[in-house]
Amino acid sequence: MEKSWEILEGACLSCKKCRLWEMRTNVVIGKGNRNADIMFIGEGPGQQEDLTGVPFVGPAGQLLDKMLASVGLSTENAYICNIVKCRPPGNRDPHEDEIQSCINYLRYQLAMIHPKIIVCLGRIAATTILSPDFKITKEHGIWVERKGYWITATFHPSALLRDESKKRPAWEDLQAIRRKLDELQNTETE
């Protein structure tokens, strides 16, 4: 069957596959360019995101915007979403059953956007997408090519707000991400 954003939105807005629907104000699907070559995946909506229905609008989102802008990225040329689309109460980590209930929506989104690069923001995205035992402190910045996607992970912007010392390695990851994007876009036009 043909995929469409209308189908995805309809399914997400009426979703009751896990308990998170009971507490949500809004389902938070994604923002940015649906034709982007790069997709950033966070963990799940926080309070501001739940209230607005838009991912990464709170303090972590403001830092993410600045980091992306420093390498020429924004919602004009990137797509941003989360592993789970409803807010876990009190910003706790999403539980495994909640992730598994939601993961097909992300797969569907990925298939429609079909980016060249996927960036996992933080541990939850990295352990869900890259490998269950992924260690963000040790393995951030490593690239894996899978099913035609180049995938990497870096620190979640919330972690950078808590621990300033992670800002430099995150900045270096972003610069490498920018170089990889340029390289992949250039080989396409050669």
Q: Which of 12, 37, 39, 49 lies at the binding interface for ligand URA (CB under 6 A)?
A: 49
- Whether residue 103 contacts residue 137, with contact meaning beta carbons closer than 8 Å, is answered with no
- Provide the sign of the torsion angle of the four alpha carbons 151, 157, 162, 168, taken in this order: positive
- Whether residue 57 contacts residue 82, with contact meaning beta carbons closer than 8 Å, is answered with no
Helices (H) and strands (E) in the chain, counts: 8, 6
Pairing of strands 144-146, 38-42: unpaired
- The smaller minimum CB distance to ligand URA, of residues 4 and 47, is found at 47
x-marked contacts with ligand URA along 96-115 as a string, rule CB under 6 A? --------------------
- The smaller minimum CB distance to ligand URA, of residues 64 and 117, is found at 64
* Smallest separation, CB 121 to ligand URA (Å): 6
Q: Is 30 in the site for ligand URA (CB under 6 A)?
A: no
Q: Is 127 in the site for ligand URA (CB under 6 A)?
A: no
Interface residues with ligand URA (CB under 6 A) are 42-46, 49, 55-56, 58, 60-61, 82, 158
